[in-house]
Amino acid sequence: MDMGEFIMSNKVVISIKRLVPALIIGPASWLGPYIVMLGLFLPALLQELDAEHKVAMLALFAATGSIISAISNMVAGALSDNTHSRFGKRAPWIVGGAFFFMLSMIGAAFSEGVTMLLICWSIGQIALNFIVAPMVAWLDFAADEHKGKASSAYGGLGMALGNNGFNVIGAMFLGQFRLGFIIFGVITFIGVLLATLLVHEPSNLGEKEEAGEEKQHYSFSMDSLRQVFPAWHIGRDYYLALIGKVFLGIGNFAITGYILYIMTDFLKLGDQTQAGIQLVNSIMFFIGVFMGFFAGPIADKFKILKLPVACSALFLALGALALYLSHDMTGVTIYAFCAGIGMGLWNSLDNYLNLQVIPDKDRVGFFLGVYNVGNSLPQAIGPVIAAAAIGIIGFSGVFVVSMVFALIASLCIFSIRGVAR
């Protein structure tokens, strides 16, 4: 066995020195290319294939992707929980998902029609979630005293780099977006493979015989639904964390999904629009990275977790309030700082919080997969709710939606009983 790993009470623990770089490289390698493809390459290719219906087509791709993500995330997590191989339970699915994601994006690059593109994109969504669900379960490989550091590495640093660090490079391929699909698909595969090699998950073949009969009761039939999803009184804290994640995501995407129109149509920044967007992205990126470095270690040292996660939602609500009250660059700046602190804290610590409230420690991958639905669902319904609010009371409705949903998210986290503070 590698000196950087050991097994304690049937639980694999990986050295934090190996785990941290893997938890930065891994999520950055799948999220960064995905954000670029979704935000730049896919709209450009749809413009080429069906310019007349590009808006409706983009909505179709987004909705289809969200539905596929929600289902495949849970399935991938459950399958990895029950996998036994010489490479461990997570690695085979992560590497396999990265390989098929790369192939599907190469297929997208050569698509000559919307139907073929939708098929490739859908396969890519499935493959992507077979990376995401098992990879976030790597957090459970960290020793208890290092779980905050691991969570910060994944959410605070890896996700921050993925969300913001690849767009500059991606913009260079806008004139060759088909080539961009191929290159960024390859980047995902290489980066994910490197992260998996860094983790070097040990074989778990020895668990196979022990797990045989015990795992049989975890089926996906309707008769066993209450075993798959525990009753409220058993999984109360987990469900509150999940609801909080969904509501915070809606509060966040209500604004970020319409940030361009907020700048142009509501704040009427005119020539300052580009500067405003760059300001928001820059501030949120640097604060997010800062939180990634410090939030986890501080949570580990002072044994605080619930309070900073709950307060992170309050910061997002405060940022939305700033935009509601101040319709200029001052409001934009205050929003960027508050939302940067809020989302930086949340991304750094929410997965750590979820690990503490999972109702069945033998199904970490499955429950983290369900929890990840909180990422895809808000992307689908957040802009819809915001659009309805805009239609009823104008753009100020976006900020009201963001504030209300963020406050509810904070209340959910504060209501968790199993984590003291």
The neighbouring-strand residues paired with 13 are: 6
Contact 369, 77 (CB under 8 A): yes
Asked if 201 and 4 touch (Cβ cutoff 8 Å), the reply is no
Domain 224-414: assigned CATH number:
1.20.1250.20
115: how many CB neighbours lie within 10 A of its CB?
Answer: 10
Domains 5-217 and 224-414 share a fold: yes
- CB of 250 within 8 A of CB of 382? yes
Nearest Cα to Cα of residue 24 among 165, 125, 143: 165
b (16+ CB within 10 A) / e for 362-373: ebbbbbbbbbbb
* Domain range annotation of the chain: 5-217, 224-414
DSSP string, 188-203: HHHHHHHHHHHH-PPP
- Note the pTM of the prediction, 2 decimals: 0.76
* Extended strands (E) in 282-336: none
Q: Specify burial of residue 293 (Cβ count, 10 A radius: 0-12, 13-18, 19+).
A: middle
Instruction: Determine the Cα–Cα distance for residues 375 and 373; give it in Å rounded to an integer.
Output: 5
Phi, psi (5° rounding) for residue 390? Answer: -60, -40
Share in percent of the chain as helix, strand, coil (round to 5):
85, 0, 15
| pLDDT tens across the length of the chain (421 residues) | 454 555 544 578 888 899 999 999 999 999 989 988 887 788 889 889 988 888 678 778 877 888 888 889 888 988 988 888 999 999 999 999 999 999 999 999 999 999 999 999 999 999 999 999 899 889 888 888 888 888 888 888 888 788 777 876 787 887 898 999 999 999 999 999 999 999 999 988 877 655 554 444 444 444 445 556 777 877 899 899 999 999 998 998 888 777 777 887 888 888 877 777 778 878 888 888 888 888 888 888 888 889 999 999 999 999 999 999 988 888 889 999 999 999 889 988 888 888 888 888 777 777 877 777 777 778 767 777 887 888 888 888 989 999 999 999 999 999 998 887 7
Domain 5-217 class in CATH: mainly alpha
Kindly state the helix (H) or strand (E) to which residue 280 belongs, with its residue range: helix 273-302
Coil, helix or strand at residue 3: coil
Identify whether the C-beta of residue 268 lies closer than 8 Å to the C-beta of residue 132: no
